[in-house]
Structure 1
Amino acid sequence: MKKLLAILMASAAAGLLLVAAPSAAQAATTGTITGIGGKCLDMTDGQSSNGTLVQIYDCNSTIAQQLTIGDDQSLQAQGKCLQVVNSSTDNGARVQLWDCNGSTNQKWGFSDFSDIVSISANKCLETSGGASDNRTPVDIWTCTGATNQKWTVHPGTTTTNPTDFPITEAQFNSLFPNRVATYSYQGLVSGAAKYPAFATTGDITTKKREIAAFLANVQHETGSLQYLRELNTANYPHYCDTSQPYGCPAGNDQYYGRGSLQLSWNYNYKAAGDSLGVDLLHNPDLVATDPTLAWGTGLWYWNTQSGATSVTPHNAMVNGNGFGATIRAINGGLECNGSNPDQMNARITNYKHIADVIGVSYGDNLSC
């Protein structure tokens, strides 16, 4: 990404950073910006509304981490501008998204020393407290040269564009108007980026059928995306397999169902966490609080696990086995072969409705 601004010098007497205006040749450029720990600047939960706070998060190739440095000294994400909350100049003031309005509070300078400086506050963008954990807040602070104030701009970083995703955000929102915020559309896109074959394999009909099948099963498991955790608390102590060599370090009652496909059992938390690069064995509740993981754990199962069958739900859809095979892979022992036709038919109803909304035919073999 081209350097838009150069901090030319510091005036020791005034304590001011002098910032040059970008040249006419320095057109707006888009990419990602990484800081301490190699984490990306990220819009919390992939949101784009006014007041969305900025944080750092594992780089995941989604538009929540795609930033544009404008030749007007703005720093933009998801159609909004980054600004300091309440136009504050105080150390520790948070940074948020807001409608671009040209105010000084939305101006940023990029130095040759890897600083990003708030023009209005004359302070450096930093990760709060020097932490590098996911979801560490971003704020401004007196420039000290510390590692948590250093940023690297990456030009033209490839991103997952939801316009290429088989379901649009508007369609998703219309299907799940009462969903909890953690089940965000951007979280779905971010989780899908972890499994590149998901909803990208085959022709557009196959792609749409797969996203419809996945969401239909998720809808059934989560009460239309209203529940992040298993409701029956009496079951909580039952999901610790003590025969596993790693045991249940978070507690024997901490591996109950969570997330989009209600991940349960300590061995599944470990396997899903290993796949996603997160220690879920020690931190299982991340599945109920982190949007990418709430979706990503379900997508881990969908793309890698076959349950009591010989085919994963992903392969079932892309190979033409039909929606019924996904039910069998997820809960076949309880719902297929006449065991519980009402539950099976509820999933089928979900699938048909979602397919209708996104405009795709159902295919064959809907039941199991």
Structure 2
Amino acid sequence: MSRQRIFAFLSALALATGLAVALPTASASTVACAAAWSPTTVYTNGGVSSYNSHNWLAKWWTQNDTPGGSVGVWTDQGACGDGSTPPPTNPPGGGSCSYPAWVAGTSYATGAIVQYSNGLYYQATHDNPGYDPTISTWYWSPYSCTGGGGTTPPSNGGFVVSEAQFNQMFPSRNAFYTYSGLTAALSAYPGFATTGSDTVKKQEAAAFLANVSHETGGLVYITEIDQSGNYCASEPYGCPAGTYAYYGRGPMQLSWNFNYKAAGDALGIDLLDNPNLVQTDASVAWKTGLWYWDTQNGPGTMTAHNAMVNGYGFGETIRSINGGLECNGNNTAEMQDRVSKYQSYAAILGVSPGSNLTC
């Protein structure tokens, strides 16, 4: 029976019986919802996905940036579907869960379990004031609804570099820089070394590891040798850990108070007050390296991640990390050291290093 005939039938029934019959109304939104947004999907300029019953248009390349978030990569295209968000069925991991929805800004104690808007469940591994479970992997872990639940066991996440290859690349590395610390950090930026063809994935991994090798002397140095520099820029939040506390640490030698603040905010870790976490927790250290790699242009025009996955070549990663000192004819010896390491690591992974190696 057509919609119009149903309306007519119900109207006639109301007149004949004298009863008030609620007539169905047209949906507030007749626009179909696009495919649901996923934190692991790569979206490019013009890509459309749906989130919270709205369609969203991507302005540029993005992955794991929630529509409507502070990054500003998504443009709201308006409501879609029937304007409601149905509860997920058959929760991932099997079994059944009835945990409350995560609410930003709500304080959660260690052990709390919530359902995120992507339909997945997360358990708090540390007390936190409502950090996003898909970003703040220090404070949250995925939760599986199987037989009463249980956290998802860690793995290398299908990382294209095996532990044996990692050890071959860094035979003299400091024990602090563990392979497990690196693979544990991968969940913070799931697009790293998982975007594009198998060749591109291996090239990006080799490029990242070549740059961190150069920054740390082959993963030997956890902190910079000279820690007397004043890396405290004039910012409203100041330098609560101390004027000289923000020296270089970790695989990318994270420096300056504003970088500790930005990295900490992105990862859900208070690095402004606790910069030493970067030199005492291997997973945190690796996450700060991936944060810079995936989100910061530095002195370049693109992130190192974008340079590798969009075909600009290894030279652009150097520009994004230290282009002011090593590119355009400056300190070519330092630049060449990065290139040589990249070529060596690409060979270990059995992949061509590609073109555009220098800057």
Give the aligned partner of residue 217 of structure 2.
223
For residues 339-363 of structure 1, give each alpha carbon's deviation from its aligned partner in whole angstroms, at most 9, with x where no partner exists: 0010000000110111111111110
Whether 1:254 and 2:249 are equivalent positions in the alignment is no
Instruction: Report if aligned partners of 2:252, 2:288 keep a CA contact under 8 Å in 1.
Output: yes
Gaps of 5+ in 2: 1-93, 95-108, 113-122, 127-137
Q: Distance in 1 between matches of 2:249 and 2:242?
A: 15
Which one of 184, 189, 196 corresponds to residue 202 of structure 1?
Answer: 196
Instruction: Report if aligned partners of 1:316, 1:323 keep a CA contact under 8 Å in 2.
Output: yes
Q: Distance in 2 between matches of 1:277 and 1:218?
A: 23
Q: Distance in 2 between matches of 1:191 and 1:211?
A: 14
Instruction: Report if aligned partners of 1:201, 1:207 keep a CA contact under 8 Å in 2.
Output: yes
Instruction: Report if aligned partners of 1:182, 1:294 keep a CA contact under 8 Å in 2.
Output: no
- What SS is found at the alignment partner of 2:149? strand
Which one of 214, 218, 234 corresponds to residue 208 of structure 2?
Answer: 214
User: Are residues 190 and 334 of structure 1, via their aligned partners in 2, closer, same or farther at CA, if it must alter by over 3 Å?
Assistant: same
Which one of 348, 351, 358 corresponds to residue 360 of structure 1?
Answer: 351
Whether 1:175 and 2:204 are equivalent positions in the alignment is no
- What SS is found at the alignment partner of 1:182? coil
Instruction: Report if aligned partners of 1:60, 1:193 keep a CA contact under 8 Å in 2.
Output: no
Q: Which amino acid counterpart does residue 179 of structure 1 have in structure 2?
A: R
Instruction: Report if aligned partners of 1:60, 1:190 keep a CA contact under 8 Å in 2.
Output: no
Displacement after TM superposition at 1:153 (Å): 5.7
Q: Which amino acid counterpart does residue 172 of structure 1 have in structure 2?
A: F
Q: Distance in 2 between matches of 1:165 and 1:364?
A: 23
Runs of 4+ aligned structure 1 residues displaced above 6 Å come to none
Which one of 246, 269, 280 corresponds to residue 278 of structure 1?
Answer: 269
- What SS is found at the alignment partner of 2:258? helix
For residues 133-169 of structure 1, give each alpha carbon's deviation from its aligned partner in whole angstroms, at most 9, with x where no partner exists: xxxxxxxxxxxxxxxxxxx9625x5566427111001
Give the aligned partner of residue 323 of structure 1.
314
- What SS is found at the alignment partner of 1:180? coil
User: Are residues 174 and 182 of structure 1, via their aligned partners in 2, closer, same or farther at CA, if it must alter by over 3 Å?
Assistant: same
Give the aligned partner of residue 336 of structure 1.
327
Q: Distance in 1 between matches of 2:296 and 2:353?
A: 23
Displacement after TM superposition at 1:191 (Å): 1.4
Q: Distance in 2 between matches of 1:259 and 1:153?
A: 38
What TM-score do you get using the length of structure 2 for normalisation? Answer: 0.60
Q: Distance in 2 between matches of 1:163 and 1:36?
A: 23
Whether 1:350 and 2:341 are equivalent positions in the alignment is yes
Give the aligned partner of residue 244 of structure 1.
235
For residues 201-257 of structure 1, give each alpha carbon's deviation from its aligned partner in whole angstroms, at most 9, with x where no partner exists: 00110000000000000000011111110111232xx2001x210000000000010
For residues 315-345 of structure 1, give each alpha carbon's deviation from its aligned partner in whole angstroms, at most 9, with x where no partner exists: 0000000000000000000001110010000
Instruction: Report if aligned partners of 2:139, 2:268 keep a CA contact under 8 Å in 1.
Output: no
Q: Which amino acid counterpart does residue 341 of structure 1 have in structure 2?
A: T
For residues 243-293 of structure 1, give each alpha carbon's deviation from its aligned partner in whole angstroms, at most 9, with x where no partner exists: 210000000000010001000000000000011110000000100111111
User: Are residues 282 and 206 of structure 1, via their aligned partners in 2, closer, same or farther at CA, if it must alter by over 3 Å?
Assistant: same
Which one of 178, 185, 188 corresponds to residue 184 of structure 1?
Answer: 178
Q: Which amino acid counterpart does residue 304 of structure 1 have in structure 2?
A: T
Alpha carbon RMSD of aligned pairs, Å?
2.5
Instruction: Report if aligned partners of 2:335, 2:358 keep a CA contact under 8 Å in 1.
Output: yes
How does 1:73-112 map onto structure 2 within 5 Å? Answer: none
What TM-score do you get using the length of structure 1 for normalisation? Answer: 0.59
| Number of matched pairs | 230
Displacement after TM superposition at 1:60 (Å): 4.4
Q: Distance in 2 between matches of 1:154 and 1:357?
A: 40
Q: Which amino acid counterpart does residue 196 of structure 2 have in structure 1?
A: G
Q: Which amino acid counterpart does residue 240 of structure 1 have in structure 2?
A: C
User: Are residues 163 and 191 of structure 1, via their aligned partners in 2, closer, same or farther at CA, if it must alter by over 3 Å?
Assistant: closer
Instruction: Report if aligned partners of 2:202, 2:351 keep a CA contact under 8 Å in 1.
Output: yes
Q: Which amino acid counterpart does residue 149 of structure 2 have in structure 1?
A: H
Instruction: Report if aligned partners of 1:198, 1:303 keep a CA contact under 8 Å in 2.
Output: yes
Gaps of 5+ in 1: 1-28, 42-56, 70-151
Give the aligned partner of residue 142 of structure 1.
none
Q: Which amino acid counterpart does residue 259 of structure 1 have in structure 2?
A: G
User: Are residues 307 and 163 of structure 1, via their aligned partners in 2, closer, same or farther at CA, if it must alter by over 3 Å?
Assistant: closer
Whether 1:154 and 2:149 are equivalent positions in the alignment is yes
Instruction: Report if aligned partners of 2:188, 2:287 keep a CA contact under 8 Å in 1.
Output: yes
How does 1:278-297 map onto structure 2 within 5 Å? Answer: 278-297=269-288
User: Are residues 360 and 229 of structure 1, via their aligned partners in 2, closer, same or farther at CA, if it must alter by over 3 Å?
Assistant: same
**Greater gyration radius:** 2
Give the aligned partner of residue 129 of structure 2.
none
The structure carrying a bigger strand percent of its residues is: 1
How does 1:46-85 map onto structure 2 within 5 Å? Answer: 58-60=139-141
User: Are residues 36 and 158 of structure 1, via their aligned partners in 2, closer, same or farther at CA, if it must alter by over 3 Å?
Assistant: closer
Q: Distance in 1 between matches of 2:356 and 2:275?
A: 35
How does 1:305-316 map onto structure 2 within 5 Å? Answer: 305-316=296-307
Task: Percent identity, please.
Answer: 54
- Larger RCO (alpha carbons 8 Å, 6+ apart): 1
Q: Distance in 2 between matches of 1:60 and 1:239?
A: 33
